[in-house]
Amino acid sequence: MKSIVLLGTGNVATHLFTAINKTLSFKIVQVYNHNYKSLENFKDVPVTTKFEEISQADIYLIAVKDDQITRVSQNLKSNDSLVLHTAGGKSMEILNTHPRTGVFYPLQTFSKKKEMEFDNIPICLEAGNEDDYHILENLAGELKGKVYRIDSAQRRSLHVAAVFVSNFVNYLYTEGEQICRENKIPFEILLPLIKETAHKASLMSPYDAQTGPALRNDIEVIEGHLAQLTAQQKEIYTLLTHSIQNLHGKEL
């Protein structure tokens, strides 16, 4: 049984807390956060707001906001224990004041309300040495996640790729929702299309799945679309249409 002190109380921390406590070989022995309020949600476990009260443990799992990781790490006394962070956008190096470091990055969108299973969620692992890598592998395995060995440089790229396929995609959904609302069309009409478009990405390369007026260079339809849009939507429509044509034109 390995003991873990969890540092942080946000979405990722909350989901990790629930999931880790269901494992056989890992146990969270304490939760730290700088303010007490958010610690109230953590029941049946010792909590603290003070660095000097942090318990000795096998693993320190830092799941705070990206810009707080360095501060928390520097205030933490790890002795000879393993120190991890969970951030896609941060290198392992920022933990370098500690002798044993690693990254445990679950690649998923977490929201507090929605319960989240780690089953089959990709978990990107990195560690400073092979023994510590195996500890991370065991933890990810007990959460039933899908393990990928990803170094800091790859993780940085993966993080930006995730912004394209998730944050930006969600923004395009918002645009679709707005267009529907302005024209008294229920947004739910678009949901099967959204779902199918996402599903297709698992069946074939998105490059091959591309369809639509941009790909066909259907100028009449494109002009008809542009005429309906706001200035901001027009700018996005034009840039993405040209991008599709550049990408596919090159290789046609």
Is residue 35 a contact point for its own copies (CB under 8 A)?
A: no
Is the CB of 79 or the CB of 217 nearer to its own copies?
217
Is residue 218 a contact point for its own copies (CB under 8 A)?
A: yes
Site for its own copies in 96-125 (CB under 8 A): 107-109, 111, 114, 120-122, 124
Please, are residues 141 and 89 in contact by the beta-carbon 8 Å criterion? no
136 sits in which H/E element: helix 130-142
Distances (CA, A) of 24 to 17, 88, 91: 14, 26, 29
User: Reduced to 3 states, what is the DSSP secondary structure of residue 14?
Assistant: helix
- Residue 198 CB, shortest distance to its own copies, in Å, is 4
Distant-in-sequence, close-in-space partners of 102: CB < 8 Å, separation ≥ 6: 82, 83, 84, 92, 125, 126, 127, 128, 132, 133, 135, 136
Q: Phi and psi of 176, rounded to 5°?
A: -60, -40
Give the β-pairing of 2-7 and 26-32. parallel
Is residue 205 a contact point for its own copies (CB under 8 A)?
A: yes
Is residue 133 a contact point for its own copies (CB under 8 A)?
A: no
- Residue 7 CB, shortest distance to its own copies, in Å, is 20
6 sits in which H/E element: strand 2-7
Cα separation, 16 vs 22, in Å, equals 10
Is residue 147 a contact point for its own copies (CB under 8 A)?
A: no
Is the CB of 27 or the CB of 159 nearer to its own copies?
159
Of 191, 217, 223, 249, the one binding its own copies by CB under 8 A: 191
- Residue 245 CB, shortest distance to its own copies, in Å, is 10
Residue with tokens 């969600």: 170
Is the CB of 36 or the CB of 168 nearer to its own copies?
168
Which tokens sit at 147? 């393990």
Site for its own copies in 231-250 (CB under 8 A): 232-233, 235-237, 239-240, 243-244, 246-247
Say how many CA atoms lie within 13 Å of 63 toward its Cβ.
21
Is the CB of 45 or the CB of 247 nearer to its own copies?
247
Total number of residues that touch its own copies (CB under 8 A): 90
Is the CB of 2 or the CB of 225 nearer to its own copies?
225
Is residue 230 a contact point for its own copies (CB under 8 A)?
A: no
Is the CB of 131 or the CB of 177 nearer to its own copies?
177
Chain Cα centroid distance, residue 104: 11
